[in-house]
Amino acid sequence: MSTSTPRTSAQNAAQELIARSNRLGADPKNTNYAGGNTSAKGTETDPVTGEPVELVWVKGSGGDLGTLTESGLAVLRLDRMRALVDVYPGVEREDEMVAAFDYCLHGKGGAAPSIDTAMHGLVDAAHVDHLHPDSGIAIATAADGEALTKQIFGDQVVWVPWRRPGFQLGLDIAEIKRQNPQAVGCILGGHGITAWGETSEEAEKSSLWIIDTAAAYIAEHSKAEPFGPALEGYAALPDAERRAKAAALAPTIRGIASADRPMVGHFTDSDAVLDFLASAEHPRLAELGTSCPDHFLRTKVKPLVLDLPAGASVEDSIARLKELAVTYREDYQAYYDRHATPESPAIRGKDPLIVLVPGVGMFSFGKDKQTARVAGEFYVNAINVMRGAEGLSTYAPIDESEKFRIEYWALEEAKLQRMPKPKPLATRVALVTGAASGIGKATAQKLAAEGACVVIADLSLEKAIEAAAELGSTDVAVGVQVDVSNADAVQAAVDAAVLAFGGVDLIVNNAGLSLSRSLLETTEKDWDLQHDVMAKGSFLVSKATAKVMIEQELGGDIVYISSKNSIFAGPNNVAYGAAKADQAHQVRLLAAELGEHGIKVNGVNPDGVVQGSGIFASGWGANRAAVYGVEEKDLGKFYAQRTILKREVLPENIANAVFVLCTSDLSHTTGLHIPVDAGVAAAFLR
Active-site residue list: 576
Helix (H) or strand (E) holding 374: helix 369-392
CB-count exposure of residue 428 (10 Å: 0-12, 13-18, 19+): buried
- Which residues have CB under 8 Å from 246's CB, separation 6+? 267, 269, 357, 360, 361, 363, 499
At 636, give phi and psi (nearest 5°).
-60, -45
Positions of E strands within 14-91: 37-45, 52-59, 73-77
- Which residues have CB under 8 Å from 344's CB, separation 6+? 408
Write the DSSP symbol of residue 64: -
- Which residues have CB under 8 Å from 260's CB, separation 6+? 349, 350, 351
Q: What is the 3-state secondary structure (H, E, C) of 504-557?
A: CCEEEECCCCCCCCCCCCCCHHHHHHHHHHHHHHHHHHHHHHHHHHHHHCCCEE
- Sheet containing 673-676: which strands, arranged edge to edge? 477-481, 453-458, 429-433, 506-509, 556-561, 599-606, 673-676
Q: Phi/psi zone of residue 232: left (φ > 0), alpha (ψ -120 to 50 degrees), beta?
A: beta
Q: How far is CA 626 from CA 530, 620, 632, in A?
A: 21, 10, 8
Q: Phi/psi zone of residue 451: left (φ > 0), alpha (ψ -120 to 50 degrees), beta?
A: left
The CA distance from 576 to 77, in Å, is 71
- Do the Cβ atoms of 122 and 85 come closer than 8 Å? yes
Positions of E strands within 376-529: 429-433, 453-458, 477-481, 506-509
CA nearest to 334, candidates 400, 416, 398, 283: 400
- Which residues have CB under 8 Å from 70's CB, separation 6+? 14, 18, 110
CB-count exposure of residue 548 (10 Å: 0-12, 13-18, 19+): buried
At 454, give phi and psi (nearest 5°).
-125, 135
CA nearest to 326, candidates 411, 395, 259, 377: 259
- Which residues have CB under 8 Å from 17's CB, separation 6+? 38, 39, 40, 57, 73, 127, 200
Strand duo 453-458 + 429-433: pairing: parallel
